[in-house]
Amino acid sequence: MDALIIETVVKAIVVLLVISALAGFGTYLERKVLAFMQRRLGPMHVGPFGLLQILADGIKLFTKEDIVPQHANRLIFMVAPAITAATAFIALAAVPLFPEFTLFGYTIRPIVADLNVGILFVLGAMASGLYGPLLAGMAQANKWGIIGSARTAILFLSYEVVTGLSILAPIMIVGSLSLIDFNNAQAGGIGDWMVWQQPVAFVLFLIAGFAETNRTPFDLLEHEAEVISGYATEYSGMRWGMFFIGEYANMITISFVASLVFVGGFNPIGFIPGFLAIILKVSFFFFLMLWVRASWPHVRPDQLMWLCWKVLMPITIVNILITGIVLL
């Protein structure tokens, strides 16, 4: 029992440190990829290829003055960024990151908690992360913030149905909610990937995932050209940074979930070992998010609601019905 507690704590700390470092690195990657797609160089001057830019940004964020606006609800204003960041990491707890490996004669399963309702837990934790922007926008006594949080509510009401229903069809096929079972169900190589059986669900889940992480086609809650910074208007320093760490951690989580559920997870592909395979898949999904941000315009809130309720939800329901009939 003690060993289990120590192991879990160590895993949690490792995941927290690695993913928050990766989230910082993600900002660097995003700036670089966006720059290349616009024929710019991106950060170049701090360290080799601008790699230490993350460090410089971190120092800047940590040493900035932490301002709480005069009429803001002080407690909620200060707690809100922690909700976003914390739920992003809590969601990662039920995600198996790599295949099992042996270190110093001790078999390690790189998942903090193998829940039997893993996928539900991940989606629920990520969905509760939306409380961060919602409360932040309402607590800061700023009109842009209010608009931002109103849009958060719209976004939440729209995509969450699609996320849940689109992932329902793969759940029906696999017959389990554990992400490890999802992974094991696709162990037979590329032909066994869920994406071939559920292409519609895959596309719908990706669309909903973009909405879930507030990425560009659906980044209406902090779109600079319209609502300054939305819910993050009044934030500065590390509180603002925590929103960003949360957002990038969410991107990583969604990438992991999409690769585990639909494209074979951490099963080895041919000569590529399992841990490398999942790193490649997650990198692809992460790159896809940056790529889409560079390419596509974003939608209006009413278009998002229209899209989610009138187009995507009927498609998911038809998809579930067909899957059910085929399974019977």
Partner 1 sequence: MSLEKFKDRNIGNQNYTLIGHEAFPQTGGEKFERVMKRMLKGELFVGLWVTLRTMFQALFKGEMHTTKYPFEKLPISPRYRAIHEMLRLLESGHYRCIGCGLCEQICISDCIRMDTRYDENQRKEVSEYTINFGRCIFCGYCAEVCPELAIVHGSRYETSSEQRASFSLFEDMLTPIDTLKHQKEYPGFGAVSPNADENIKKTPLAY
- Given 39, 48, 70, 325, the residue binding partner 1 (CB under 8 A): 39
Give me 172's structure tokens. Answer: 């029906």
Q: Which of residues 260-299 bind partner 1 (CB under 8 A)?
A: 291-292, 294-296
- How near is the Cβ of 298 to partner 1 at its closest, in Å? 13
| Cα end-to-end distance, the chain, whole Å | 43
Please, how many CA atoms are within 13 Å of residue 176, restricted to the half-sphere of its CB? 15
Quickly count: other Cβ atoms within 10 Å of residue 40's Cβ. 11
- Given 40, 60, 74, 143, the residue binding partner 1 (CB under 8 A): 40
Residue 203 vs 238, nearer CB to partner 1:
203
For 82, residues 6+ apart whose C-beta sits below 8 A from its C-beta are: 132, 242
203 near partner 1, judged by CB under 8 A: no
How many residues lie near partner 1 (CB under 8 A)? 14
Query: Residue 77 in contact with residue 136, Cβ under 8 Å?
Result: yes
Sign of CA dihedral 318, 258, 289, 125: positive
Name the percent of the chain in helix, strand, coil, to the closest 5. 70, 0, 25
| Residue 37 identity (one-letter amino acid) | M
- How near is the Cβ of 65 to partner 1 at its closest, in Å? 31
DSSP letter for 272, please: B
Query: With 0-12 CB in 10 A as exposed, 13-18 as middle and 19+ as buried, what is 232?
Result: buried
- How near is the Cβ of 36 to partner 1 at its closest, in Å? 5
- Given 23, 33, 90, 289, the residue binding partner 1 (CB under 8 A): 33
Residue 38 vs 107, nearer CB to partner 1:
38
Piece of the chain touching partner 1 by CB under 8 A; list 3-11, 37-45, 68-76, 125-133: 37-45
For 323, residues 6+ apart whose C-beta sits below 8 A from its C-beta are: 169, 172, 173, 198
Query: Residue 265 in contact with residue 280, Cβ under 8 Å?
Result: no
| Residue 230 identity (one-letter amino acid) | G
- How near is the Cβ of 44 to partner 1 at its closest, in Å? 7
Residue 41 vs 187, nearer CB to partner 1:
41
Q: What is the dihedral of CA 211, 213, 217, 220, to 10 degrees?
A: 80
Piece of the chain touching partner 1 by CB under 8 A; list 30-38, 114-122, 225-233, 249-257: 30-38
- How near is the Cβ of 284 to partner 1 at its closest, in Å? 13
Q: x/- contact string, 292-311, with partner 1 (CB under 8 A)?
A: x-xxx--------------x
Residue 189 vs 314, nearer CB to partner 1:
314
Residue 130 vs 290, nearer CB to partner 1:
290
Sign of CA dihedral 270, 272, 277, 281: negative
| Residue 286 identity (one-letter amino acid) | F
- How near is the Cβ of 319 to partner 1 at its closest, in Å? 15
Piece of the chain touching partner 1 by CB under 8 A; list 3-11, 21-29, 33-41, 205-213: 33-41
- Given 21, 37, 113, 187, the residue binding partner 1 (CB under 8 A): 37
- Given 44, 67, 280, 317, the residue binding partner 1 (CB under 8 A): 44
Query: Residue 20 in contact with residue 245, Cβ under 8 Å?
Result: yes
> Would you tell me which residues interact with partner 1 (CB under 8 A)?
33, 36-41, 44, 291-292, 294-296, 311
